[in-house]
């Protein structure tokens, strides 16, 4: 799978994320602090990674900033993106299953390397639910987006 990856600084678990993704067999597309010549600020870096997903250059994205909140907000401004800020494996699994989230947002401050591994395992081993109510909710998100 091709994963767009963005962080605004290389602190906390930021340096572990690309290594863990590659170790899982994913190809990474780097943005922000990971990429020379790109603006590293969370809004710009997260937008770039989210656009990769929305425009088909990546299957999913992982975005990160100090709290993860700004990265999540920036990614969610891109049409077609459903970014979820996940601080534990259960939240990551639920975001994939019930929300068909396509961008994982992480806190560089609050995520330990052990939690990071658990979150990535849950995220990448889960998929979108086919249950009628879950599909209807995700479809409604698309309707909300189109009505803007």
Tokens of 26: 């994913």
Give the residue among 100, 4, 1 at the shortest CA–CA distance from 52: 4
The H-or-E segment that residue 47 falls in is helix 42-54
Interacting residues of 84 by C-beta distance below 8 A, sequence separation 6+:
72, 91, 92, 95, 99, 101, 103, 104, 105
Q: Is 86 a catalytic residue?
A: no
The active-site residue out of 33, 45, 65, 120 is 65
Active site amino acids: 65
């Amino acid at each position: 799978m091709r994963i767009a990856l963005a962080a605004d600084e290389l602190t906390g678990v930021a340096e572990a994320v690309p290594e863990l993704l590659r170790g899982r067999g994913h190809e990474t597309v780097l943005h922000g602090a990971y990429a020379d010549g790109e603006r590293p600020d969370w809004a710009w870096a997260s937008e770039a990674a989210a656009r990769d997903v929305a425009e088909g250059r990546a299957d999913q994205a992982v975005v990160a900033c100090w709290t993860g909140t700004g990265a999540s907000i920036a990614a969610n401004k891109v049409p077609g993106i459903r970014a979820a800020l996940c601080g534990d494996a259960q939240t990551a699994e639920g975001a994939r299953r019930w929300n068909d989230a396509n961008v994982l947002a992480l806190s560089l401050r609050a995520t330990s390397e052990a939690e990071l591994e658990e979150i990535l395992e849950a995220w990448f081993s889960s998929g979108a639910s086919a249950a009628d109510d879950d599909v209807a909710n995700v479809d409604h998100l698309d309707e909300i987006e189109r009505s803007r």
